[in-house]
Structure 1
């Protein structure tokens, strides 16, 4: 599947047991954090994020604007955009595709029954075709200003979303929304079928987590240099560890078993969230018009 050219720069990466931790940066231009350019890049992914596989296959010069406008309208059509999470979901989608070459199964947008509805459930459902079969990647995101708050909330959400009854219900919704023309539809439906043991699904599951926060290092820098990289590492190293420790403790406390699922933690530091979401909202509404 063709994708937009990579834009985000990886500025931190460490491999840990059962996954890895990464930080991605939009970079700088003329000594300013590239807020508008990142917003442009996010919207370049909108068709893949918001259209069905069959619609993407049929996309051509004759219907491109019609489908892109429709995709833009499915995100939201509200003046109250400050606390909406759809842009975090698109950024999670981007990071998964750029870093891990996943294949998107369905978008959370497909769960909506009205344009401005806020829906629950996993924030991304992708797959990866591995040597041992199909891996299910179900993602969570928190598009926040405060990293500590993002970690607190995402840990609770992951633990809740791994409840057996919750997973069973979520898998029914996923199966009902998968485009039959998508090449991996049959394999995914077989993996999450109600007759399959949750233990089998866990053995083939990864959880990518994307968090944003307003970063003092990013707002105080003008370029990606060694000083900036060291400051980002100082900001994030202990927070990555805190997230993983908190998740393992909370999961074991609830289920009396160790957390044994591969976890990919992805962080995008922002210089100024307000200016970024204002730019995103303006560009999105331009596409809707």
Structure 2
């Protein structure tokens, strides 16, 4: 059980070495009518907001008297990012948002990174090594290029993750493949490793500092470093399975869902041709939801309310 208890809302339906899939199912209301559990999903995602924004850079615990102020601070730090503020305005002030406009303005965004943070923490037992939001907001330094930089302290692995929020999963997967092509080259990686090594000193997770500083130092072999790295690629997207069915436990839903996941995995395999393919530990993570636009709208609505509490 992870720190945020994501399994209460999110089910890991496919668990394979290079493929994971997640889903949120249905519940019934007081009238016995089935509904998709969008609101519990939104609240579960936002439960990881403060840790996502600040990682372990300010410690691993928050005083009970500071819980609300830290949450408000975290929401404000996210909206200090210009692009993210623009996306919020677009989502909340637009009467109707077309799929084309939505994908144009929110192909990635911090919500994709927040969902990735939650899944890595609760389903893969990682801990955050660095937080991009923390460095954007507090330190003002150039930040690393990955959407997640986590570690598994038990297995001594580094998790460098990428995330996409798309309506069309194939487009999201194509963009994830582009990220791998751009980011997993020796020059780029060595540059990122140096940045990460310097910023590790800003975290209070001191027991891991020296190990990862030494591991990522420029003197080591790239092949040895890649062996210690897992690359989770998360695509959260709209899926029609939640319109066609209203019970995720039914055989019909399960068959339809799995076929969709396997088709997307095939799409990834057919298009993933990185020259270092045999050296990269890729984990494709697929997270279909009922409606990506509605999910993002709800997240912005809740986050805006938190931001406004402090006046």
Same fold (TM over 0.5): yes
Give the 3 Å change call, closer, same or farther, for CA 146–2 of structure 1 in structure 2: closer
Could you tell me which residue of structure 1 aligns to residue 79 of structure 2?
A: 76
Secondary structure of the 2:278 match is: coil
Call closer, same or farther: CA 1:111–1:245 in 2, change over 3 Å: farther
Q: Which residue is 1:32 aligned to?
A: 35
CA drift of 1:56 comes to 3.9
- Kept in 2, the 8 Å contact 1:219–1:272? The answer is no
User: Any residues of structure 2 matched to 1:125-204 within 5 Å, and which?
Assistant: 125-130=149-154, 134-178=156-200, 179-182=202-205, 183-204=207-228
In the alignment, does 2:269 pair up with 1:261? Answer: no
Distance 1:119-1:275 versus aligned 2 partners, 3 A rule:
farther
Q: Does structure 2 conserve the Cα–Cα contact (< 8 Å) formed by 1:21 and 1:264?
A: yes
**1:48 is matched with which residue?**
51
Q: Structure 1 unaligned segments of length 5 or more: list them.
A: none
C-alpha distance after superposition, 1:82-134 (max 9, x if no partner): 526101001111111122111111122234259xxx97711101111345xx2
List per-residue Cα deviations over 1:159-186 (Å, max 9, x = no partner). Answer: 1101111112212222232234213122
Change over 3 Å in CA distance of 1:284–1:4 after alignment to 2 = same
The runs of at least 4 aligned residues of structure 1 exceeding 6 Å deviation read none
**Whole-angstrom CA distance in 1 between matches of 2:143 and 2:244:** 36
**Contact 1:11-1:24 at 8 Å conserved across structures:** yes
CA distance in 2, matches of 1:258, 1:158: 10
Task: Note if 1:112 corresponds to 2:136.
Answer: yes
1:121 aligns to what SS in structure 2? coil
CA shift in 2, pair 1:5/1:180, >3 Å: closer
**Structure number with higher helix proportion:** 2
Among 4, 11, 14, the residue aligned to 2:13: 11
- Retained in 2: the 8 A contact 1:12–1:229? no
Consecutive unaligned residues in structure 2, runs of 5 or more: 29-33, 92-105
Q: Find 2:267's aligned residue among 242, 245, 248.
A: 242
Provide Cα deviations, 1:32-88, integer angstroms capped at 9, x if missing partner: 211121111100011221124252435111211221111111222525235261010
Partner of 2:103: none
Q: Partner residue of 2:255? A: 230
Q: Is residue 208 of structure 1 aligned with residue 232 of structure 2?
A: yes
TM-score, reference length from structure 1: 0.87
TM-score by length of 2: 0.81
Number of residues paired by the alignment?
274
